[in-house]
Structure 1
Amino acid sequence: MKKSTKIFILLLLVALVVVPLKLLPDAEFSGADGEAEGVIQQIAPSYEPWFEPLIEPASGEIESFLFALQAAIGASVIAYYLGYRKASKKNA
């Protein structure tokens, strides 16, 4: 990998991770599930969910870990597929 590519990746990571945290120090980062629940309670206060989670994580950290693990597995599958396609085209 070229040195300029490594520098670009490093700057991209800084821009995507550090800059938002510095610009929004008091921001509350929450997921879409919590936002949707709030809107549903405003629209229909008597609504009862018809499904409960099969497994409730013990803490928010475990929930975040499981979400990150799910994202990593998905990214790995996509990367494998793209690499497989590129190699099969190269060998054809």
Structure 2
Amino acid sequence: MKRSTIVNWLLVVAVVALAAFPLLFISGDYGGADGIAAERIAADHPDYQPWASSLFEPSEEVASGLFAAQAAIGAGVIGYYFGVARTRRKLAGAVNAPSDAID
């Protein structure tokens, strides 16, 4: 097996371990930052009234789906960028390569 393949698999195992560790060994509630911020504001300033309201209040399931769609679109954009950058780099190397056929 090539060294780069071994390194890639070790990186995959490390990422999976980093993702699984908190889920398996750390107990606690998983809450969003917006919920924590709302609780903190309510505790610090009980008479606070928001000056704007949401145009669309989705249910938790819909909000989760929208978040997943946003993540998928972002991953697609990033993947597209890396693909284009790699192809441009490859084509630039092919164009700049010296040719033995031309004298």
Which stretches in structure 1 are left out of the alignment for 5+ residues? none
Deviation at 1:84, TM superposition (A): 0.8
Number of aligned residues: 88
Query: Could you state the TM-score of these two structures normalised by the residue count of structure 1?
Result: 0.77
State percent identity of aligned pairs.
41
Partner of 1:85: 85
Q: Which amino acid aligns with 2:23?
A: L
Q: Does 1:12 align with 2:18?
A: no
Distance 1:61 1:39 in 2: 25
Which stretches in structure 2 are left out of the alignment for 5+ residues? 93-103
Deviation at 1:3, TM superposition (A): 5.1
Partner of 1:34: 35
Partner of 1:57: 58
Distance 2:35 2:21 in 1: 25
Q: Which amino acid aligns with 2:19?
A: V
Distance 1:23 1:61 in 2: 26
Over aligned residue pairs, what C-alpha RMSD do you find?
A: 1.9
Query: Could you state the TM-score of these two structures normalised by the residue count of structure 2?
Result: 0.71
Partner of 2:23: 21
44-53 vs 11-20, greater mean Cα deviation: 11-20
Deviation at 1:13, TM superposition (A): 4.3
Secondary structure (helix, strand or coil) at the match of 1:38 reads helix
Off by >4 Å, runs of 4+ in structure 1:
none
Largest Rg, 1 or 2:
2
